[in-house]
C-alpha cells in the first residue's frame, strides 16, 4: 500500500504531480474502489437471485472508505500478501450479523484488487484527458499562428534544411491527439474482473456468468468474455498507452528544452520568476521541459515491469500479479503530471521568429544546399550537382562561393541562386501538412 495521503506528497513527489489525477490515486481512493467492487459484487449477486437483497443493501451501506483506516489495512496486508484480505475481514465485522455470510461471496482477492485498479485508472483518466485536451488546444494555437514561420530543421543534432515552427507544433499536436485517442479507447475497454478462486465462479453455480455481467454493469466497466486472472492484456494495454502518452509529452518537452538553449534561443518558457538557479542569478531554466522529460525517462522501466509481469502461470500468479500494482499507479501519476505540465508549457510558450530566422541565416544559405543542387541537377545530373554544391560548401561563405564557382554560374544566374537560397521556396508540403494536422484535430474533436 502507498502512504495514506497522496502519491505526490513529500519533497520530490510534487515535481511530477497533478493534483486532479493524484486525487484518484491516493490510498483512500484505492480503498474506495475496492469497496465499490465489493458493493457491486453483492449487488450483482442479489440481481441474479443469489444473495438476499436486504443483505446486499446492508453490506453496500458499509462500503465507505471513511469507515476504515488505510494505514491499518496496509499493515495487516503483509500477512496475506494483499490488502483485500484484511479489508474483507473488517467489512464482515462491520455489517449486521445476518449479512456477514454474503460479504465477498464467490470472489477472490484478485477480483477485487484488479477491479479496483481498473476503477482507479478509469477515474484518473478523467482529469488526465482534460490536460491532454488543454495541451492539444495550445499546440493548435501555435501551429495556426506559426504555420509559415520559417526556422531551420535539425537532424542528428545539426542544421539540415528549412522547415516551419508551425510544422513542428503540428507534429506535437498529432502526438498528443494520438495519445488522447488511445487513452480514451483503452479506458472504455477496461474490464471488471470476477472469476473466483480459479476462474470458474463455481460458488454461483449456473448464475456465475450472469453475476459477472451485472457486476461489470454496476461499475460501469466493460465485460470480459471470461476472467483474465493470468491473461493480462487489459493492463498491458493501459501501461502501453500511458507509456505512449509520456513519450508524446516527452517529445514536446525535449524539443522545447533544446530550442530554449542560450545558443539557440528560439523559444522560452513563460512564467515570471520560474526556472531560477541556486548558484547562478542569471539562469532561467526551462522547468516544465525538464520535469516532463524526467517523467518520460521513467516510463520505459515501469512499462517494462508490467510487461515482464504479464507472463503468469496457470490460473493465478505467484508474485507477477503483485508486481503490477505500483508501476501502474506510478504511470498514472507520471502521465497526469506530464500532461498538465505540457499544457502549461505550451500555453505560455514564448516563440521568437526573429531568432529562428537569424539561426536559419547563420550559415549564409548553407542549409539550402539541397535546393541549389536540385536546380543544378537538371543540367549536371544528381551526382555532378551534388559535387559542385559540396565544393562550394567547403569555401564559405556559401552564397559567395556559389557566385564564384564557374560550374554553378554556367547554369544558374545570380537571381536564380538567390531564389534557390530563399527558405520560403524550399518548404515543400510543410503548410499542407500543418493544415492536415489541424483538420484531423478538428475532425477528431467533432466526433
Beta carbons of 275 and 286 less than 8 angstroms apart: yes
Give the separation between CA 367 and CA 143, rounded to whole angstroms.
23
Domain boundaries, given as residue ranges, for the chain: 10-354, 362-446
pLDDT band at 1 (very low <50, low <70, confident <90, very high): very low
Cα gap 149→267, rounded to integer Å: 13
Fold of 10-354: Fumarase C; Chain A, domain 2 (1.20.200)
Output the pLDDT for position 445.
86
CA 249, 255, 261, 265 torsion: positive or negative? negative
d(CA 447, CA 441): 10
In contact, 297 and 250? CB cutoff 8 Å: yes
pLDDT tens for each residue of 275-317: 554 444 455 688 999 999 999 999 999 999 999 999 999 999 9
- Asked if 10-354 and 362-446 have one fold, the answer is no
What SS3 class is residue 183? helix
Whether residue 397 has a cis bond before it, omega within 30° of 0: yes
Radius of gyration of the chain (CA): 29
For residues 115 and 24, what is the distance between their CA atoms, to the nearest angstrom? 14
**Tens of pLDDT along 361-395?**
999 899 999 999 999 999 999 999 999 999 999 99
Write the class of the CATH domain 362-446. Answer: mainly alpha
- Residue 401 to residues 190, 247, 422, Cα–Cα distance (Å): 63, 43, 16
Of 164, 187, 277, which Cα lies nearest the Cα of 237?
Answer: 187
State the DSSP H helix or E strand holding residue 164, giving kind and residue range, or none if neither.
strand 158-164
Residues recognised as catalytic: 277, 316
C-alpha to C-alpha distances, 189 to 185, 220, 379, nearest whole angstrom = 6, 11, 59
What tens digit of pLDDT does each residue of 427-447 get? 999 999 999 999 999 988 887
Does the pLDDT value for residue 181 go beyond 60? yes
Whole-angstrom distance, CA of residue 435 vs CA of residue 236: 34
- Please choose, from the candidates 248, 252, 316, the residue with its C-alpha nearest in 3D space to the C-alpha of residue 289: 252
Amino acid at each position: 500500500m502507498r502512504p495514506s495521503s497522496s502519491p505526490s506528497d513529500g519533497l520530490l513527489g510534487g515535481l511530477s504531480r497533478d493534483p486532479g489525477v493524484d486525487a484518484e490515486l491516493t490510498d483512500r481512493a484505492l480503498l474506495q474502489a475496492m469497496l465499490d467492487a465489493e458493493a457491486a459484487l453483492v449487488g450483482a449477486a442479489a440481481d441474479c437471485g443469489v444473495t438476499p437483497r436486504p443483505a446486499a443493501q446492508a453490506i453496500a451501506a458499509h462500503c465507505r472508505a471513511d469507515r476504515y483506516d488505510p494505514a491499518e489495512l496496509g499493515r495487516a496486508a503483509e500477512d496475506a500478501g494483499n490488502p483485500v484480505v484484511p479489508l474483507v475481514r473488517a467489512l464482515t465485522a462491520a455489517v449486521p450479523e445476518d449479512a456477514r455470510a454474503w460479504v465477498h461471496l464467490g470472489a477472490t482477492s484478485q477480483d477485487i484488487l484488479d477491479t479496483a485498479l481498473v476503477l482507479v485508472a478509469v477515474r484518473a483518466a478523467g482529469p488526465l484527458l482534460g490536460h491532454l485536451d488543454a495541451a492539444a488546444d495550445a499546440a493548435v494555437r501555435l501551429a495556426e499562428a506559426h504555420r509559415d514561420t520559417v526556422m531551420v530543421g535539425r537532424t542528428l543534432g545539426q542544421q539540415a534544411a528549412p522547415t516551419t515552427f508551425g510544422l513542428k507544433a503540428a507534429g506535437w499536436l498529432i502526438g498528443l491527439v494520438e495519445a488522447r485517442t488511445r487513452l480514451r479507447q483503452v479506458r472504455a475497454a477496461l474490464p471488471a474482473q470476477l472469476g473466483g478462486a480459479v476462474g470458474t465462479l463455481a460458488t454461483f453455480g449456473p448464475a456465475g456468468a450472469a453475476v459477472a455481467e451485472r457486476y461489470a454493469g454496476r461499475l460501469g466497466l466493460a465485460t470480459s468474455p471470461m476472467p483474465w486472472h493470468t491473461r493480462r492484456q487489459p493492463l498491458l494495454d493501459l501501461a502501453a498507452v500511458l507509456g505512449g502518452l509520456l513519450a508524446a509529452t516527452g517529445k514536446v518537452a525535449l524539443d522545447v528544452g533544446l530550442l530554449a538553449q542560450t545558443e539557440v534561443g528560439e523559444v522560452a518558457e513563460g512564467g515570471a520568476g520560474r526556472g531560477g538557479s541556486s548558484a547562478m542569478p542569471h539562469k532561467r531554466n526551462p522547468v516544465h521541459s525538464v520535469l516532463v522529460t524526467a517523467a518520460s525517462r521513467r516510463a520505459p522501466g515501469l512499462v517494462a515491469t508490467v510487461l515482464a509481469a504479464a507472463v503468469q502461470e496457470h490460473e493465478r500468479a505467484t508474485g507477477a500479479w503483485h508486481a503490477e500494482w505500483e508501476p501502474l499507479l506510478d504511470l498514472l501519476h507520471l502521465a497526469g503530471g506530464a500532461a498538465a505540465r505540457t499544457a502549461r508549457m505550451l500555453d505560455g510558450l514564448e516563440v521568437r521568429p526573429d531568432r529562428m530566422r537569424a539561426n536559419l541565416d547563420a550559415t549564409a544559405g548553407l542549409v539550402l544546399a539541397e535546393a541549389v543542387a536540385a536546380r543544378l541537377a537538371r543540367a549536371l545530373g544528381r551526382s555532378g550537382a551534388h559535387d559542385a554544391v559540396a565544393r562550394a560548401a567547403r569555401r564559405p561563405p556559401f552564397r559567395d562561393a556559389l557566385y564564384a564557382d564557374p560550374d554553378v554560374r554556367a547554369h544558374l544566374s545570380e537571381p536564380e541562386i538567390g531564389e534557390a537560397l530563399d527558405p520560403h521556396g524550399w518548404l515543400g508540403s510543410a503548410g499542407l501538412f500543418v493544415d492536415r494536422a489541424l483538420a484531423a484535430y478538428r475532425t477528431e474533436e467533432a466526433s
